[in-house]
Amino acid sequence: MKTAAALMESMDETADPCQDFHKFACGGWMKKNVIPRGHGSVSQFGLLDGRIQHFIKEFFKENSTSVDSKPVNNTREMYRACMDKDAIEKLGIRPLTNISDSYGQWPLTMSNWTEDRFNWRKATASIRNTFGLGFLFEVSNFVDVNNTEFSTIYLDQPSLGLPSFVLKGNNLTSFPIQSYLTFISGVAHTIRDAIGGGANDTDITKDVEDLISFHIELANVKFKCKSFHKAFIKFQIKNLYCIFLKINWHEHLTDIYSAANISINSDEKIVVIEPEYLQRLVQLLDQTPPRVIANFIHWRLILEKIYDLNSEMAILAIEFYDAIYGRYQIQPRENWCMKRVHKLMGFAIGAKYVESAFDPQAKIDMKEMILNLKMAFSSLVEESDWMDEETKINALEKAAAMKEYIGYPDWITNRTTLELAYHGIKTEPDKHFDNFYTANRFMVVTNLRFLRFRTNRENLWISFPAVVNAFYYPMLNSITFPAGILQPPFYGKGRVAALNYGAIGVVIGHEITHGFDHRGHKSDKKGHERSWWTNQTLDKFYKRKQCIIDQYNNYTLPELEGTISIHMNGTNTQGENIADNGGLREAFRAYQNYVSTNGQEKRLPGMERYTPEQLFFLSYANVWCSNQTPESLEYRVRFGVHSPARFRIIGPLSNSVEFSDHFQCPADSAMNRPNKCTVW
């Protein structure tokens, strides 16, 4: 009855399900759930995530005990130190200026800075192996896209540290950049006065303008080289210098990996993602004065760590974001601290969450459902009339080889193993900045060591357990379903199977389909980048996905009337739309197979007027119920890869023959498209 009540409260039965199933399934939910002040949206995902966050914060507040492992107790101490505002205010900006001093001080705060104090390459390497950050380019190591049995080094474009609209296409006179200038200048004056750096206001203004001009140029280089399909090119390290001049790449990588006692051979091959970016970067660096580069690198480190400092610095950041967004509500300190600890200690937190709030039956049920979804996908492939036999065989092999990760890695439930994984973490009650500094460095160095490890597909988790999401990872050909999502409304132990298949079942199908979408189709069953399609079948695939693109391009958002975002972007969202449509079709086929094996299900008490099949579609729509502000909606349409929630309901259901059949939708109804798009 509880499940029926939740579904009924979400619905608006005055709406016609064949005209607007979004309103029919979510109308009641949308009236009941108001967007919290300062937030851009409220959703089923967000509410579930909020419940998990509440659990984590409550256990953080508990006293440390010998019953819990050392890493779990470390998380409590890190959280409390993060919440100790008095201690943080007392330290002020000293924790960061001490680090900045080790890199030769921030030039724009100093009256006597000289170039011999700073080597940008050495500073960049040190920041990478301490904080895991890259401001000019990113260095990482993970599974080799060309040989997934081993790991390799990747060189990639960096994060810009700011929303792209602040930098892209702007100059020093534009409003966002003027706000950015005010922000940096305020931070610079604060630091100068605190350390007695002596730089005068005129010089600071000139330095800040040069820094921002460089940041804009770097952004332009990145945007020019950003392609829809990333290029993964292998180079021997010794050849990189010949191609990307001015940078001793062997020395640079040696400096980074020396932190993990790993030697780097100049004959090694590494993967360069978007080589054109590095070529343009080298040109930009060559024409930029060392002082500007030094100012930029110091600033980017400050920008990453500004909320770890005192309130004076945090207020400057809030004022900047308030200016560029129009309304910026910083999240409560307790939420921010919780997320900071979770980012570093997610498996320790996951161990506590699994122990206290996760039902082991969910793992058993998920294994069965994943098997059924794989079988459903395979049957749809076999029945397809657009794929030739060679491509079908390759697709079936890839689906069968797909590795699943459910709930949590088993090793986190072993206290000894968990403590070994975090053995380098040391925390103190009143040292927030130092706690994160030392923990971050330990985790970064631990990750660097994986470069020389053979890939262990049994334990290579890409997500922490207490997360409300699901993932497909091409390099591993794996699907991951963390413990956080395995609860209502997505999954419920012992409830009508139609509800589980309509919710978490579609999520499973969605992730499986990502292995065969516009990007996933480029890698094979081992995760290797390889074309396994015949040209004839590939041409048909492109035509089918174009149908999806065109369908979503035609959707409009009346509340964005008068903006460039009134129309959906079917190209940007094509991968997720293909996965939504495929996931729904596969999950319904899997549910039909379940019924064939187990018999027709009884109707849900309290909702007897709906068949189990209709409940399947209601359950599917229910997980996408949400409300969103126009500003948040516009941002999603412009920059997001997911369609707005209403179209994640309307789009796939209007392509579903089974939906129209079970709700008896007339041929001319909005939810029964005459030209249905099907990829998988």
Q: Find all residues with CB under 8 Å of 575, minimum gap 6, and list them.
A: 514, 517, 518, 519, 520, 641
For every residue of 343-360, DSSP letters joined together read: HHHHHHHHHHHHHHH--T
Q: How far is residue 515's CA from residue 533's CA, in Å, rounded to a whole number?
A: 13
The β-bridge partners of 86 are none
The Cα angle at residue 651 between residues 472 and 470, in degrees rounded to 5? 20
Is-contact 430 506, C-beta < 8 A? no
Report which of 475, 459, 524 is spatially closest to residue 142, judged by C-alpha positions.
Answer: 475
Q: Measured on CA atoms in the order 671, 521, 276, 455, is the torsion positive or negative? A: positive
Q: Is 485 exposed, middle or buried (0-12, 13-18, 19+ CB in 10 A)?
A: buried
Helices (H), 103-200: 120-131, 164-167, 175-195
104: left (phi over 0), alpha (psi -120 to 50) or beta: left
CA atoms within 13 A on the CB side of 609: 2
Look up 458 and say whether it is catalytic: no
Q: Find all residues with CB under 8 Å of 143, minimum gap 6, and list them.
A: 150, 151, 152, 455, 460, 475, 476, 527
How far is C-alpha 534 from the chain's CA centre? 32
Q: How far is residue 40's CA from residue 645's CA, in Å, rounded to a whole number?
A: 14
Ranges of beta strands (E only) in 199-279 are 232-236, 269-273
Look up 77 and say whether it is catalytic: no
The β-bridge partners of 235 are 270
Selecting among 511, 517, 576, 613, the annotated active-site residue is: 511
Selecting among 580, 586, 613, 634, the annotated active-site residue is: 580
Longest dimension (CA), the chain: 82
Instruction: Cite the active site residues.
Output: 511, 580
